[in-house]
Amino acid sequence: MADGKTIEVSFAEGVRTITLDRPPLNVLDLPMIDALAAAFEEAGRDPQTRVVVLRARGKAFSAGVEVADHSPDKAPAMITAFGRLFQTMRGASVPTVAVVEGAALGGGAELVLFCDLILMGPKGSFGVPEITLGFFPPIAAAALPRRIPRAVAMELILTGDRIDAQRAFQVGLANAVLPAEGTEDAIRAFVGRVARWSGSVLRLAARAADQCDGIPIAAALDRAGAIFLADLYRTEDVREGLASFAEKRKPVWKDR
């Protein structure tokens, strides 16, 4: 943690990396949650950002929210701050990849849930242990059953147990388990599979998937179709994609 900052932001080749930097456990407090929201808002405003990678420095990805912020007088502010952060992450419509190389627990696990794609390191783990302290995880209660089978979600919520990287992959929470050797290369390769495409089209795809989530299929088809017809065809990159195919060359994306 440098200069009192609890997150670090870097950018290279269309990838904006947001790193939690409050070691060793990256415990989330209200200023850190607000800083994360500001970082995602900035990513949403930057048309050159194709992908956001969320990762952490230290022993854990994040051990969750400060226990003191769960007190009755502070809990409303904590819930409001988390809600604002997650709405900002969704509203940015930038594809997000969480890289979980340590424990993601409680609020840290909930932060991971709002990323589109999840990579687990071999020592990564995931859990919502609030039940062991006499709480339940409100964000996970809303989001976790949407990401994995309900029975598995309820097992985690009601027992407080954590799962390792392999189990997270088996239940569909993680997209991949990173190798113990060559981890950074594996992360770059995975993220590059997304970042090589048009930033404007990636955002529209993320927006369509988000807006269609959880609504009846007929309404979802209408909404996705409207974004496709009204927004996609306004982009320069859809024309570039069609032209490059016809001309048998690689597309040159303009991210607009």
Percent of the chain with pLDDT over 70: 98
Cis peptide before 24 (omega within 30 of 0): yes
Q: How many CB atoms lie within 10 A of CB 210?
A: 14
Average pLDDT over residues 122-149: 94
Average pLDDT over residues 172-194: 97
Q: Mean of the per-residue pLDDT values for the chain?
A: 94
Minimum mean pLDDT among 60-74, 174-188, 219-233: which range?
60-74
Residue found under tokens 């701050």: 81
For 106-126, what is each residue's pLDDT tens digit?
A: 999 999 999 999 999 999 999
Backbone angles phi, psi at 20, to 5 degrees: -70, 130
Strand 51-56, strand 96-100: pairing = parallel
Minimum mean pLDDT among 63-67, 160-164, 246-250: which range?
63-67
Residue 176 three-state SS: strand
Average pLDDT over residues 11-24: 95
More confident residue, 70 or 178: 178
pLDDT of residue 16: 98
Topology (CATH) of 7-195: 2-enoyl-CoA Hydratase; Chain A, domain 1 (3.90.226)
- pLDDT surpasses 60 at 28: yes
Dist. CA 33–CA 39, nearest whole Å: 10
- pLDDT surpasses 50 at 2: no
Average pLDDT over residues 227-246: 95
- pLDDT surpasses 90 at 68: no
Dist. CA 15–CA 85, nearest whole Å: 20
Residue found under tokens 């996609």: 232
161: closest CA among 127, 133, 131? Answer: 127
pLDDT of residue 122: 95
Q: What's the chain look like in SS3? A: CCCCCCEEEEEECCEEEEEECCCCCCCECHHHHHHHHHHHHHHHHCCCCCEEEEEECCCCCECCECHHHHCCCCHHHHHHHHHHHHHHHHHHCCCEEEEECCEEECHHHHHHHCCCEEEECCCCEEECHHHHHCCCCHHHHHHHHHHCCHHHHHHHHHHCCEEEHHHHHHCCCCCEECCCCCHHHHHHHHHHHHHCCCHHHHHHHHHHHHHHCCCCHHHHHHHHHHHHHHCHHHCHHHHHHHHHHHCCCCCCCCCC
pLDDT of residue 4: 62
Dist. CA 182–CA 186, nearest whole Å: 6
More confident residue, 71 or 2: 71
- Ordered by start, the domain boundaries in the chain are 7-195, 199-246
Those residues with Cβ within 8 angstroms of residue 16's Cβ, 6 or more apart along the chain or in another chain = 9, 10, 43, 46, 49, 51, 52, 53, 94
For 186-225, what is each residue's pLDDT tens digit?
A: 999 999 999 999 999 999 999 999 999 989 999 999 999 9
